[in-house]
Amino acid sequence: MEKGLDFKPENYSPLVLAYMGDAYIELLTREYIIGQGDCNTASLNTRAKDFVTAQSQSAAVDKLIPFLNEDELIIYKQGRNAKSNHSPRSASAVVYRRATGLECLFGYLYFSHKQIRAAELFRIGYLS
């Protein structure tokens, strides 16, 4: 992706980063589930929901916060504090905002080509 080479987080809104981060967390989740040998197609989406719901993302934030560097924490907070016209249906506003912050962080990591760091944070947040 050519445009990704000149990525500067300040050029993208936190909600745009969260949009990409949502997809990136989904990808990391699918890689993990399939890597565990669970390739029963009937259970793949069920297992993935343990990772990608607002509640599970908010819980992952609690585990990740102590491991974030200063820049990552700033990006997370920008996503968490971003104003959205979307109102959550299956989560409280606080849980939804924390999940948006996490998605923003993963979008930032994706566009910054920091896949190793993203995989490390995914393991800390979801597998520890």
Residue 22 a catalytic site member: yes
Q: What is the DSSP string of 4-39?
A: GGG--GGGS-HHHHHHHHHHHHHHHHHHHHHHTT--
SS3 74: helix
* 88 close to 95: Cβ distance less than 8 angstroms: yes
Q: Determine which one of 22, 50, 62, 71 is catalytic.
A: 22
What dihedral angle (degrees, nearest 10) is formed by the CA atoms of 106, 108, 113, 118?
-20
The candidate with the shortest Cα–Cα distance to 62, out of 124, 17, 114, 117, is 124
Which tokens go with 101? 């912050």
- Positions annotated as catalytic residues are 22
